Amino acid sequence: MSKIRRLFLLLLLVFSVLAIPSRFKLLTYGFKLEKLQLNLPFSPQWEIEPILSEGELKKIFSQTFFFLGKGAQSYVFESEDEQYVLKLFRFDPRKRSFTDREKWDMWKEKKAISLFTSCKLSWVRAREETALLHLHLNPTSKMLPVLKIKTPLDRTLHLELDQYRFALQKKVVPLEKALDDALTDGTLSLKLTSLRSLLEGRTEKKIRNRDPSLWRNFGFLGNQAVELDFGNYDDRPDFEDEKMRKKEVDRYLTPLRKWLMSHHISELDNK
């Protein structure tokens, strides 16, 4: 074997080894339990008035939850009966740029407070709009069961839910699939009306979503529109102004109109 060929094979081996971590991360979605851990003590401001009893929660969490995806603020799991979605909040930056432990902890606390503020706003003012069933923003003791989950690589883990911060929502049909189905099942008009009503209703409650994504953040329960993302909610007193509310609504209706035009539909503007 020539020296050049041996060198080529050696370099190929090195590059392959170096590529393994990034490929592995793609397969696992970077899932690590340490990303879910938060050293933030109990605070009364993060408490909620629950709508589910402990018995109802235990029944829901008696199922296995399967990895569904990764969001900007959480790892998402789906219940075995496909009725519920569990968002386990994560507290890691997209790029680890902190070398100082104190700065790292401060960043995590700042992120958590911002996220929890949005969650609490959703719970108090927009629980139905977001299909929220439960929020667990404070650490607890012996209140919640141990949950069995399946990781992205189908590994089984058992989580003591008391230790984790999470949201429980009803599972919905993603927006694009729901609208595609509505083109054939005759429910498009109902769905468009519901989506517009949701957006107008949220802004009337003086809530803005910092994330302008339409397709990623909305879905349907039957013909009822649901806003999946509530972790970027802001309290906006300036939404007293009708022009400000309209501007917020149009952020979402503009891409929706483009989708409708691509299907030769102008129904939204006739409402």
Whether residues 163 and 186 fall in one domain: no
Find the domain containing 223 and state its range: 173-270
Residues 147 and 244 in one domain: no
180 with 262, same domain: the answer is yes
Whether 122 and 35 share a structural domain: yes
Q: What is the DSSP letter of 45?
A: G
Q: Please, what's the largest Cα pairwise distance for the chain?
A: 77
Same domain, 33 and 158: yes
Are 44 and 164 members of one domain?
yes
Is residue 118 scored above 80 in pLDDT?
yes
* Residue 38: per-residue pLDDT: 92
Residue 161 covered by a domain: yes
Residue 57 has pLDDT above 90, yes or no: yes
In a domain, 166, yes or no: yes
Please tell me whether residues 158 and 39 are part of one structural domain. Answer: yes
Out of 115, 138, 170, pick the residue that ends a domain.
Answer: 170
What is this structure's pTM?
Answer: 0.86
> DSSP H helical segments within the chain, as ranges?
3-28, 54-60, 101-125, 127-130, 175-185, 188-204, 242-262
For residues 44 and 154, membership in a common domain is answered with yes
Q: Domain ends where: 120, 146, 170? A: 170
Label residue 113 exposed, middle or buried (CB < 10 Å: 0-12, 13-18, 19+).
Answer: middle
10, part of any domain? no
Residue 20: how many other CB atoms lie within 10 Å: 9
pLDDT tens, position by position, 127-143: 999 999 999 999 999 99
- Per the domain annotation, does 3 fall within a domain? no
Task: Kindly report, residue by residue over 165-175, the tens digit of the pLDDT.
Answer: 999 999 999 99
* pLDDT higher than 90, residue 99: no
